[in-house]
Amino acid sequence: MESIAYVSRLNEFYRSQGFPPYRWTVNETAPLTRLAKPLNRCRIAMLTSGGVSRHDAPRFDPLARNDLRLDAIDADTSPHFFAISDSYYNHQDADRDINCIFPIERLRELASDGTIGEVAPHHYSGFMGRTYIRSAVVNEAAPRLAAQLRDESVDAFVLVPA
Amino acid sequence: MIVSTGRDLSAQVKPPRTVFVNFPMGNTFGKAFDASQQRAILRDVLAALESITAAGEIIDLAYKWHEEFGMNLGAGYQAKSD
């Protein structure tokens, strides 16, 4: 099947609710940094924005707006030690198996079989709120996260939006 | 590297690297407990770290979802429209 036209359908949804047109982020160019080493020597971390919290942390607000909370998640966390609180997508499968959106077990396996060098000490979960405060993300939250990744010598970062 | 289920959303943001999986949002890596497909998708995603050489490129993975699916806005959009 064709991929879903989220942009036009969300535009129509906002219009039907009487809201002004949503101002999407549209970038004409992108930066690209080549991997500095082969994949099988890289340290990899992941991020989910699917409202995923560890059981020893508060749940995310399922109706959050502008929530820039970002949890560091120990990479060896059990897949059964998570809760999902997010009212903006269907997470019935992910509730049963977190690997559907946050494949922490699969990444560990790919480290074990030598596909990647190693799993980073931490993954991340957050940025899940409907975020309308772009400058706070671009100028503050994202650089702070980038610095944390650098501190932990992460070579590549896999982001999984939800 | 972004693993996207919203191809048009990612195309306009233009991350450095995108891998698109035409699966429902919430099932980026497939179905619950289908470890072999989850692993295969993640393996493809990681391979794209090396194979993408043009900034902003999107790789479309060939996986097919087992049934038709739509945009699921979720209860949040109904509960609190903003």
B15, A113, A72, A143: CA torsion to nearest 10: -30
**pTM exceeds 0.80, yes or no:** yes
Minimal Cβ distance to A157: which of B1, B72, B81: B1
Instruction: For residues B82 and A93, give the distance between their C-alpha atoms in angstroms, rounded to a whole number.
Output: 27
User: How do residues A57-78 score in pLDDT, each as one tens digit?
Assistant: 999 999 988 999 999 999 999 9
Q: What share of chain B in percent tops pLDDT 70?
A: 91
CB contact under 8 A, B43 and A24: no
The predicted pLDDT at position A34 comes to: 95
The distance of B59 to chain A (nearest Cα, Å) reads: 13
Cβ neighbors of A121 (< 8 A, separation 6 or more) are A74, A75, A152
User: How do residues B41-76 score in pLDDT, each as one tens digit?
Assistant: 999 999 999 999 999 999 999 999 999 998 877 777
CB contact under 8 A, A161 and B38: no
Interface test with A, best of B2, B4, B8 (most A CBs within 10 A): B8
Minimal Cβ distance to A30: which of B33, B53, B56: B56
**How many other C-beta atoms can be found within 10 angstroms of the C-beta atom of residue A79?**
14
User: How do residues A126-151 score in pLDDT, each as one tens digit?
Assistant: 998 788 898 999 999 999 999 999 99
Read off the amino acid at residue A39: L
- Residue B79: its chain A contacts at CB < 8 A? 63, 87
Cβ neighbors of A137 (< 8 A, separation 6 or more) are A68, A127, A131
Position B80 pLDDT exceeds 70 = no
Task: Tell me which residues of chain A have a pLDDT lower than 50.
Answer: none
- Tell me the CB-side half-sphere exposure of residue A160, using CA atoms within 13 A: 31
pLDDT category at B78 given cuts 50, 70, 90 is low
Query: At B38, phi and psi to the nearest 5?
Result: -55, -45
